[in-house]
């Protein structure tokens, strides 16, 4: 198996062990344009769950009155947490798919 393919696949699989740090390092260290492309793609996909975090904060702000009064269900917060979890699961599945696809 080629080292470049393994390195590209590790960039995608790094969502389990190194987050966005490993693809960033590979992007700057590697000279192969295909590995750079995969590292950039993996890095951007690893940032998506981090970008979804402001959605949860927005839900907290919208439900500030519900939290203050203690009455009712913080529906916006629950929806945003659910959406953030859904985005994270989709990103993990997509990274595993892309990592396997690079290896084949």
pTM of model > 0.95: no
Express each pLDDT in 36-56 by its tens digit. Answer: 999 999 999 988 888 888 888
Q: Which two tokens stand for residue 89?
A: 């699961």
* Structure confidence by residue, pLDDT tens digits, 42-93: 999 988 888 888 888 888 888 777 767 777 777 888 888 898 899 989 999 9
Residue with tokens 């939290």: 67
Q: How far apart are CA 96 and CA 83, in angstroms?
A: 20
Residue given tokens 């203050």 in the structure block? 68
What residue has token string 């590995």?
35
Helix axes 3-13 and 33-51, enclosed angle (nearest 10): 0
């Amino acid at each position: 198996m080629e080292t470049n393919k393994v390195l590209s696949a590790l960039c995608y699989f790094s969502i389990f062990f190194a987050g966005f740090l490993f693809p960033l390092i590979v992007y700057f260290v590697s000279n192969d344009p295909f590995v750079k492309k995969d590292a950039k793609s993996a890095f951007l996909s690893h940032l998506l769950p981090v970008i979804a975090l402001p959605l949860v904060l927005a839900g907290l702000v919208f439900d500030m009155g519900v939290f203050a009064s203690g009455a009712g269900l913080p529906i916006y917060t629950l929806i945003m947490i659910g959406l953030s979890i859904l985005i994270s699961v989709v990103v993990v599945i997509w990274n595993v798919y892309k990592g396997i696809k690079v290896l084949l």
